[in-house]
Amino acid sequence: MPGRLDLDLYNVLLGFGWIRERVDLVRATLDPGFLLRARRVLLPVPGIDRPARPRADVLPPFRRRPIKSLAEQRTALIAGGGAGACVSLIGVRRAFEEADVEPALISACSGGAIWGSMWAAGLSAEEMADFSLSWRLEDYLDIQWARLPRFVLSGLRGFTGIAKGEAVERTFIDRFGTLTVGEFPIPFTSIVYNMDRGIVDYFGTASKPELPIGRLVHIAMALPGFIESVEVEGHLYVDGGIIDLLPAEPILRDGAFDHVFAVNFMLPPQLQPEDITGWQNRRMGFLRASRQAEQGSHLEFADRMRRALGDALTVIDAADHHLLRGPAFYDLFIDRSRWPELIECGYEQATSALEPFRSRRPTARAR
């Protein structure tokens, strides 16, 4: 029947997720700091709300320490999803610069595509930091308050998100001009989701070389209900991270990489699911179980990647995944004061992950 609520298993799980998100939101409202940051973003007061620019001296002094065992290896990098936490990819970039390792392909989604595209476009870690930390909120987030009443009155016709996402596209155009994905020094691909047809696709060097970097990043930021979908060739697309947070398919399809580094921001450390045995006996345990269910498909994709790559995979946990739970997912994106700390964390985690390769003997590149 039209308008009937389908209480199938899938929708019940979604309902649990919705309840958990509401609980997280209530908890967040008890934090005065969160409320103040949210008010500054949603209802800024002209002339008063001028957030200070984060400190720019976030990277350690450069120390060139080439890793000989990776010198002749063909490597790939997966930059996962994780909103503002993905700024830690700048620190990962610095660690790779010091090791003299440059990936032959970067596959990304969500925030990983924002900073991963900078890397692929040829920016150094220093340049990535200078660019990112110079942003004002309006440079990457544009909430369309004036149109919301019209959407409500029209039964949400034409609505795909409360923010347009055009601001970040303009910011990247100002920095990179008309640079297209096909012109990147490093081949790049970003997983996207076709909302019209319900299918996953990949936009990048091989499939959409004419796509400008600004439009690519715009799509990576598009999140159903939050940031508007982006039209490409007559269809509406959003970030493919809603399907796969660590898009390894282009790398597995290539099949000729000696080693793959997967930079994880949002999933549990080393992609290992948390054991929540006994959740049913805990207070509000079903909410915890709903998170486990929501991450299930992402962790399954990650496990398939791990099995396919075996010892050729190194996972870099560049940020604490707890930082991205509930409203903190959005808070970390709008509150840039924590970005320097995240960049430093990314550097430390990547440096640690690369350390074992320093004691390995150089090997010939796989054919």
What is the C-alpha separation between 44 and 37, in angstroms, rounded?
A: 10
Instruction: Please give the pLDDT value at position 190.
Output: 98
pLDDT beneath 50, residues of the chain:
1-5, 7, 9-10, 18, 22, 25-26, 28, 367
What does the block give as tokens for 306?
């791990």
Query: What contacts 63, CB < 8 A, 6 or more positions away?
Result: 98
Query: What contacts 179, CB < 8 A, 6 or more positions away?
Result: 121, 212, 213
**Residue that has been written with the tokens 């990489």 in this structure:** 257
* CA distances for 291 relative to 16, 147, 242, angstroms: 9, 33, 14
The distance from CA 275 to its chain's CA centroid, rounded to whole angstroms, is: 25
User: In the 8-state DSSP scheme, what is residue 154?
Assistant: T
Instruction: Please give the pLDDT value at position 18.
Output: 46
Instruction: Please give the pLDDT value at position 53.
Output: 63
Its pTM stands at: 0.85
What is the C-alpha separation between 326 and 306, in angstroms, rounded?
A: 27
Instruction: Please give the pLDDT value at position 48.
Output: 60
Q: Are 268 and 85 in contact (CB under 8 A)?
A: no
Instruction: Please give the pLDDT value at position 161.
Output: 59
- CA angle 330-335-338, nearest 5°? 115
Query: What contacts 356, CB < 8 A, 6 or more positions away?
Result: none
* CA distances for 347 relative to 84, 164, 354, angstroms: 16, 32, 11
Instruction: Please give the pLDDT value at position 186.
Output: 98
Instruction: Please give the pLDDT value at position 367.
Output: 46
What does the block give as tokens for 58?
């976030």
What is the C-alpha separation between 22 and 19, in angstroms, rounded?
A: 5
Instruction: Please give the pLDDT value at position 22.
Output: 47
Residue (of 136, 82, 111) closest to 329 by Cα position:
82
Instruction: Please give the pLDDT value at position 365.
Output: 56
Instruction: Please give the pLDDT value at position 4.
Output: 47
Instruction: Please give the pLDDT value at position 3.
Output: 46
* CA distances for 171 relative to 87, 116, 119, 217, 317, angstroms: 16, 16, 16, 10, 28
What does the block give as tokens for 12?
């019940």
What is the C-alpha separation between 210 and 190, in angstroms, rounded?
A: 14
Instruction: Please give the pLDDT value at position 313.
Output: 98
Helices (H), the chain: 9-29, 32-42, 68-71, 89-99, 110-120, 125-133, 148-153, 166-176, 213-221, 249-254, 285-309, 328-334, 339-354
